[in-house]
């Protein structure tokens, strides 16, 4: 952080509960405050013509006066109360700006909830209106008549007696029409929600499970640390179903009972009704949730409840980190390896690092949990920065599935040209006979993958976005970024050969092949195309959970966080697809996907099978996934990262330059690189810094914008921070309207 003693001026914002955050006022810092003032401080200042004394927050400290210094007024006093939520959030924003690169205003807009005037929404609940015995009879009727939505709703009502209306219509995926129909039948009533009870709705609460020895060892150890005042980061490495969530809840209980608040991050995709209900059952009205489907007004309301102390546990995706809690004791990040924890807007913050920074400001601990920890977190655990716990067994009798690896090259040699290996075909037939369910996973959407020529290698791309076009079932070639369409041609436009064909299978193609091979099977498909409409994602999942289909075919979306007890076969069509993605995390992502996919089969008492089809069975990511061996994968992967100085061993700063013409972008990024090279050779950073590029980004043109990418690598984060500042200063000084430069520290996706 800049040394505040050197800073003569402070930029102050006077109203932060406002959309217009950009308005700051500059004040002089009096000598006696120079040593103590810091970003986020709440200060008294004379304001306006009358010099009325008002309060504001310090956003920036600088030695650059924006006006004639003689005319600037002086800060009167610092009134910071360290408990003040805004103080911490502004400091956090400052840290994010410094760490990831963005303006202070952008960082501030990320962390401060924006108040919009919204109509008060009435909270409603659904209450069971008939005795349980009668409800059970009714339930039987619904089951018989296959009224699945009614059945689902009634089943939950019998369990819970009262349900949150919003949760029912969003997460349980029951339409308002269904709710109204049951109300007409007199089965339930819709009521205005009662005033929040601070007693956490004791009648609703179920007694928690008794933790097993492994679970108890972890929760005891962390709670013990907590009571002793030890604050740190823990990593719980435990396979899916090993009871991590129960451990979290036990620790949350202890932290909340000390009057502290807890933030629980869950990837959006895993934020299901079932997950939320588990927390609600245990903690009742102390829990609030946010998710991306909430309007900004609804989100603001949930944040206000947190600010007022009405709730003490917030569950949500990465932005739940910015819940305005006064006194956070614990931050939990479940499935911490998920790439959705990295923001794709500036500042491109990572929720794990940001949670650790926030925990530092609050004096809180952090718990990370995953079945396949990110290399970064596991590396830190191995270095002793995190304390590592392992949960090895699944709860109950649920066994891990048998994993079979099939070499597709061999299948081809044997004359099998279909996309199903003999093994997978046999197992699908077997499960269809037994009336059990199947999931087929393909890492690609559309009818097929990119179209390429086997004779000359030419790949057909979008003229606007420079990504390969995908062939759809209607025969057209479609761009998945901008939607550009063209007719497919029977011959290669470059060499004229007729060997041009789609290289890889997509979900539609798999669905077609399934229908041909197993005409009696009922299929569902889930990919970006079928889930465009609001709620369609939940609808497909609900239909599959209700056993309305035998086979669910889908992309990544199907392998994450859902429990389908009747799925006993998971087929991974081509495991290599994500391996060839062309960035340094490809192997890690593949290992995670395969391990998660394997975790989807055989969760109940029926043992499951997983078939991994691949052209590279000897690749370590695939071998380790087949053996369900995290340690083996980690050892191989960390050796590769060390060799190449890739994160987490080294650090990388991605510098993306974008602009309207190729020449402009080339010129700007070239000049920036030259200046940077000069500074590195002659300046204070060398040695230990290297520049890669600038080169065309892997998507070198997106929506008619040209993109060049440059990577700066170093093991030293301080040096990388200096480079970041150098680039920011350069871009400030060489402001070019047609050019945008975006910074991303330790990127998790390719550009
Ligand atoms: P994870 O979060 O690791 O996937 P969960 O905490 O969801 O695991 O546990 C998996 C299932 O086992 C859940 O249904 C949970 O309620 C149950 N469970 C967890 N721990 C216990 C326990 N000690 N006794 C009985 N059931 C448990
Ligand atoms: Zn060709
Ligand atoms: Zn395009």
pLDDT of residue 198: 29
Q: Which of 102-106, 188-192, 464-468, 685-689 has the lowest mean pLDDT?
A: 464-468
The segment with the largest mean pLDDT, out of 17-31, 79-93, 368-382, 539-553, is: 368-382
CA angle 693, 694, 698 (to 5 degrees): 90
Tens digits of per-residue pLDDT, 24-70?
889 999 999 988 888 888 899 998 888 989 888 888 888 888 888 88
Which ligand has an atom closest to residue 484 CA?
Answer: 3
Rounded to 5, what percent of the chain is helix, strand, coil? 40, 25, 40
Residue with the nearest Cα to atom 15 of ligand 1? 243
What are the C-alpha distances in Å from 696 to residues 40, 409, 466, 616, 660?
Answer: 40, 33, 11, 29, 14
Average pLDDT over residues 575-587: 72
| Rounded (5°) CA angle 348-349-353 | 155
Phi-psi category of residue 651: left, alpha or beta, with phi > 0 → left and psi -120 to 50 → alpha: beta
Q: Does ligand 1 lie within 6 Å of residue 26's CB atom?
A: no
**CA of 563, nearest ligand number:** 1
Q: Is the CB of 244 under 6 A from ligand 1?
A: yes
Task: Please give the mean pLDDT across all residues of the chain.
Answer: 84
Is the distance from the beta carbon of residue 238 to the nearest atom of ligand 1 less than 6 Å?
yes
Report, as an integer, the average pLDDT of 246-264: 97
pLDDT over threshold 80, residue 687? no
pLDDT at position 178 is 86
Report in angstroms the alpha-carbon separations of 296 from 96, 107, 313, 748.
Answer: 22, 17, 19, 27
- Closest residue (by CA) to atom 4 of ligand 1? 241
Residue 559, H or E segment: none
User: pLDDT above 70 covers what percent of the chain?
Assistant: 87
d(CA 142, CA 151): 5
Ligand 3 centroid–CA 389 distance in Å is 46
pLDDT at position 114, please?
Answer: 67
Q: Is 208 in the pocket of ligand 1 (CB under 6 A)?
A: no
Ligand 1 within 6 A of 245 CB? yes
Atom in ligand 1 nearest the alpha carbon of residue 371? 3
Instruction: Determine what percent of the chain is predicted with pLDDT higher than 90.
Output: 37
Pocket test for ligand 1, best of 207, 216, 236, 241 (most atoms within 8 A of CB): 241
Contact 153/178 with Cβ under 8 angstroms? yes
Distance CA 476, CA 489 (A): 9
Instruction: Locate the DSSP E strands across 222-317.
Output: 233-238, 261-265, 287-289, 313-316
Ligand nearest the Cα of residue 494 is 2
Distances, alpha carbon 704 to alpha carbons 129, 516, 539, 716, in Å: 59, 40, 35, 36
Between the alpha carbon of residue 221 and those of residues 218, 250, 313, 330, the distances in Å are 5, 12, 21, 15
Q: How far apart are CA 286 and CA 264, in angstroms?
A: 13
Report how far residue 656's alpha carbon sits from residue 707's, in angstroms, rounded to the nearest whole number: 7
The alpha carbon of 394 and the centre of ligand 1 are apart by a number of angstroms equal to 8
E strand or H helix that includes residue 31: none
Q: Which of 441, 432, 476 is nearest to 610 (CA)?
A: 441
Return the SS3 of 428: helix
Contact in structure between 264 and 314 (CB atoms under 8 Å): yes
Q: Is 212 in the pocket of ligand 1 (CB under 6 A)?
A: yes
pLDDT of 222 strictly over 90: yes
Ligand with minimal distance to 462 CA? 3
Q: Is 241 close to ligand 1, i.e. is its CB under 6 Å away?
A: yes
211 lines ligand 1 (CB under 6 A): yes
The answer, yes or no, to whether any atom of ligand 1 lies below 6 A from the CB of 215, is: yes
For residue 402, how many other CB atoms are within 10 A of its CB? 13
Q: Can you tell me which atom of ligand 1 is nearest the CA of 246? A: 6
Over residues 587-606, mean pLDDT = 80
pLDDT confidence of residue 255: 97
Number of neighbours of residue 138 by Cβ within 10 angstroms: 18
Q: At what angle do helices 717-733 and 662-682 cross, to 10 degrees?
A: 130
Q: What is the DSSP letter of 132?
A: H
Q: pLDDT confidence of 408, banded at 50, 70, 90?
A: confident
**Other CB atoms within 10 Å distance of the CB of residue 82:** 7
Q: Which two tokens stand for residue 197?
A: 């009870």
Indicate which residue's Cα is closest to atom 23 of ligand 1: 211
pLDDT at res. 22: 65
Higher-pLDDT residue of 581, 38: 38
Q: How far apart are CA 713 and CA 36, in angstroms?
A: 35
Residue 581 clears pLDDT 90, i.e. is over it: no
Residue 209 Cβ inside 6 Å of ligand 1? The answer reads yes
The answer to whether the CB of 399 falls within 8 A of the CB of 607 is: yes
Closest-approaching ligand to the CA atom of 495: 2
Instruction: Report the interhelical angle of 132-144 vs 148-160 (nearest 10°).
Output: 160
Looking at residue 371, its pLDDT comes to 92
Strands 476-478 and 485-487: antiparallel
Q: Is the pLDDT of residue 102 over 60?
A: yes
Instruction: Give Cα 388 to chain centroid, integer Å.
Output: 22
pLDDT in tens, 379-398: 999 999 999 999 988 887 66
Average pLDDT over residues 247-276: 90
Residue with CA at minimum distance from ligand 1 atom 16: 246
CA of 552 to the centre of ligand 3 (A): 29
* Cα-to-centroid distance, 476 and ligand 3 (Å): 14
Contacts of residue 137, Cβ cutoff 8 Å, sequence gap at least 6? none
CA distance 652 to 21: 31
Query: What separation in Å is there between the alpha carbon of 704 and the centre of ligand 3?
Result: 8
| Ligand 1 atom closest to the CA of 242, numbered from 1 | 3
Most confidently modeled of 29-38, 329-338, 533-542? 329-338
Mean pLDDT score, 691-699: 79
Task: Give tens-digit pLDDT for 280-322.
Answer: 889 988 999 888 777 777 788 888 889 899 999 999 999 999 9
Distance of CA 377 to the CA centre of its chain: 16
- Select from 510, 507, 502 the least CA-distant residue to 476: 502
Separation of CA 502 and ligand 2 centre (Å):
13
How far apart, in whole angstroms, are the C-alpha atoms of residue 154 and residue 151? 5
Supply φ then ψ for residue 75, to 5 degrees: -65, 140
In this predicted structure, which of 167-171, 493-497, 526-530, 671-675 has the lowest mean pLDDT? 167-171
pLDDT in tens, 176-208: 888 888 999 899 988 876 433 322 334 445 677
Q: Give the model's pLDDT for residue 220.
A: 98
Q: How confident is the model at residue 170 (pLDDT cuts 50, 70, 90)?
A: low
Say what the pLDDT of residue 19 is.
57
The residues with which 13 forms a beta bridge, in sequence order, are 57
* Distance between Cα 749 and ligand 2 center (Å): 30
Q: Round to whole Å and give the CA distance between 442 and 529.
A: 14
pLDDT of residue 374: 96
| Residue the block writes with tokens 């991994």 | 612
Average pLDDT over residues 444-464: 61
395 CA to middle of ligand 1, Å? 6
Task: Verify whether ligand 1 is closer than 6 Å to residue 246 (CB atom).
Answer: yes
First to last CA, the chain: 30
Residue 232 and residue 355: Cα distance in Å, rounded? 11
Pocket test for ligand 1, best of 213, 218, 244, 246 (most atoms within 8 A of CB): 246
Ligand 1 proximity of 136 Cβ (cutoff 6 Å): no
Cα of 481 vs centre of ligand 3, distance in Å, is 5
Q: Which ligand is nearest to the CA of 500?
A: 2
- Residue located nearest, by CA, to atom 9 of ligand 1: 243
Query: Is the distance from the beta carbon of residue 470 to the nearest atom of ligand 1 less than 6 Å?
Result: no
Bigger pLDDT: 488 vs 205: 488
- Which domains, ranges and CATH numbers included, belong to the chain? 9-111 (3.40.1440.60), 122-194 (no CATH), 213-391 (3.40.50.300), 402-447+503-641 (3.40.50.300), 651-745 (3.30.70.360)
Ligand 1 atom at shortest distance from the alpha carbon of 334:
2
Distance 681 CA to ligand 1 centre (A): 56
What are the structure tokens assigned to 412, written together?
């081809």
Per DSSP, 459 falls in state: B
Q: How far is the CA of 660 from the centre of ligand 3 (A)?
A: 15
Tens-place pLDDT, residues 613-672: 987 888 899 999 998 899 999 999 999 889 888 899 999 899 999 999 999 999 999 999
Cα(56)–Cα(42) distance, rounded to whole angstroms? 6
Cβ(60)–Cβ(104) under 8 Å? Answer: yes
- Which atom of ligand 1 is least distant from the CA of 278? 16
Q: SS3 for 124? A: strand
- Ligand closest in space to the Cα of 371: 1
Q: Which residues contact 622 (CB under 8 A, 6 or more apart)?
A: 405, 575, 576, 579, 590, 594, 612, 614, 616
For the chain, the maximum distance between any two Cα atoms, rounded to a whole number of angstroms, is 90
Question: Which of 244, 245, 598 has most ligand 1 atoms within 8 Å of CB, for mutation?
Answer: 245
Residue nearest to atom 25 of ligand 1 (CA): 209
What three-state secondary structure class fits 491?
Answer: coil
| CA triple 142-147-150, angle to 5 deg | 80
Give a three-class secondary structure readout of 375-427: HHHHHHHHCCCCEEEEECCCCCCCCCCEEEEEEHHHHHHCCCCCCCCHHHHHH
What are the residues whose beta carbons fall under 8 Å from the beta carbon of 451, sequence distance 6 or more? 459, 460, 468, 469, 470, 471, 477, 488, 500, 501, 502, 503
Ligand nearest to the CA of 468: 3
Distance (Å) from CA 558 to ligand 1 centroid: 21
Q: Which two tokens stand for residue 594?
A: 């395969």
Q: Per-residue DSSP letters for 179-246?
A: HHHHHHTTSEEEEEPPPPPTT--TTTPPPPPPP-HHHHHHHHHHHHHHHTT---EEEEEE-TTSSHHH
Residue 420 pLDDT more than 90? yes
């Amino acid at each position: 952080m800049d040394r505040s003693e050197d800073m003569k001026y402070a930029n102050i914002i006077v109203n932060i509960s406002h959309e217009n955050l950009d308005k700051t006022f500059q004040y002089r810092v009096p000598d006696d405050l120079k040593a103590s003032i810091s970003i986020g401080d709440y200060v008294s200042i004379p304001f306006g013509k009358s010099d009325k004394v008002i309060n504001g927050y310090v956003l920036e400290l600088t030695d650059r006066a924006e006006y004639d210094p003689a005319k600037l007024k002086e800060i009167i006093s610092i009134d910071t109360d360290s408990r003040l939520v805004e103080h911490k959030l502004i400091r956090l924003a400052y840290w994010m700006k410094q760490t990831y690169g963005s303006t202070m205003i952008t960082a501030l807009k990320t962390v401060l909830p924006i108040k919009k005037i919204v109509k008060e929404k009435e909270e409603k609940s659904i209450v069971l209106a008939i005795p349980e015995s009668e409800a059970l009879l009714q339930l039987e009727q619904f089951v018989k008549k296959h009224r699945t939505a009614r059945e689902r709703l009634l089943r939950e009502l019998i369990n819970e007696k009262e349900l949150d209306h919003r949760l029912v219509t969003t997460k349980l995926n029951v339409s308002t029409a269904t709710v109204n129909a049951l109300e007409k039948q007199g089965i339930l009533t819709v009521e205005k929600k009662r005033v929040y009870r601070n007693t956490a709705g004791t009648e609703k609460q179920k007694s928690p499970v008794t933790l097993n020895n492994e679970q108890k060892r972890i929760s005891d150890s962390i709670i013990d640390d907590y009571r002793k005042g030890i604050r740190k980061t823990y990593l719980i490495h435990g396979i899916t179903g090993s009871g991590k969530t129960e451990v979290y809840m036990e620790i949350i209980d202890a932290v909340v009972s000390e009057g502290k608040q807890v933030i629980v991050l869950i990837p959006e995709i895993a934020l299901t009704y079932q997950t939320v209900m588990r927390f609600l059952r245990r903690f009742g009205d102390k829990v609030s949730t946010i998710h991306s489907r909430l309007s900004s007004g609804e989100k603001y309301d949930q944040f206000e409840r947190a600010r007022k102390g009405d709730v003490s546990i917030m569950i949500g995706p990465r932005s739940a980190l910015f819940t305005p809690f006064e006194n956070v004791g614990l931050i939990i990040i479940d499935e911490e390896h998920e790439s959705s924890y990295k923001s794709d807007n500036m500042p491109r913050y990572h929720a794990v690092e940001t949670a650790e920074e926030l925990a530092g400001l609050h004096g809180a601990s952090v718990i990370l949990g995953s079945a396949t920890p990110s290399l970064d977190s596991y590396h830190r655990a191995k270095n002793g920065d995190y304390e590592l716990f392992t949960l090895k067994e699944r709860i109950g009798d649920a066994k891990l599935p048998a994993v079979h690896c099939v070499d597709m090259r061999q299948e081809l040699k044997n004359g099998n040209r279909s996309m199903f290996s003999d093994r997978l075909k046999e197992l699908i037939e077997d499960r269809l006979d037994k009336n059990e369910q199947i999931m087929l996973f393909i890492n690609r959407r559309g009818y097929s993958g990119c179209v390429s020529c086997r004779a000359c290698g030419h790949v057909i791309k979008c003229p606007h976005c420079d990504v390969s076009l995908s062939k759809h079932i209607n025969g057209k070639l479609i761009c998945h970024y901008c939607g550009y369409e063209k007719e497919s041609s029977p011959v290669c436009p470059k060499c004229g050969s007729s060997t041009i064909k789609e290289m890889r299978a997509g979900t539609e193609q798999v669905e077609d092949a399934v229908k041909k091979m197993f005409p009696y099977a009922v299929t569902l498909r889930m990919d970006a195309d079928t889930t465009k409409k609001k709620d369609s994602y939940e609808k497909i999942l609900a239909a599959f959970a209700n056993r309305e289909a035998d086979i669910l075919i889908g992309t990544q979306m199907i392998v994450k966080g859902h429990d389908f007890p009747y799925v006993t076969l998971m087929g991974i069509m081509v495991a290599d697809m994500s391996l060839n993605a062309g960035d340094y995390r490809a192997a890690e992502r593949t290992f995670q996907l395969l391990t998660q996919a394997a975790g989807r089969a055989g969760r109940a008492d029926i043992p499951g099978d997983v078939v991994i089809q691949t052209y590279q069975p000897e690749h370590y990511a695939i071998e380790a996934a087949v053996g369900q061996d995290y340690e083996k994968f980690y050892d191989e992967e960390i050796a590769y990262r060390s060799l190449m100085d890739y994160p987490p061993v080294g650090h990388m700063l991605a510098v993306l330059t974008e602009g309207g013409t190729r020449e402009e972008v080339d010129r700007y990024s070239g000049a920036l690189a030259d200046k940077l090279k000069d500074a590195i050779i002659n300046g204070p950073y060398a040695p230990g810094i290297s520049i890669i590029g600038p080169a065309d980004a892997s998507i070198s043109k997106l929506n008619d914008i040209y993109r060049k990418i440059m990577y700066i690598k170093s093991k030293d984060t301080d040096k990388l921070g200096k480079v970041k500042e150098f680039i920011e200063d350069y871009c400030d000084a060489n402001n070019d309207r047609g050019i945008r430069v975006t910074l991303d520290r330790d990127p998790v996706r390719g550009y």
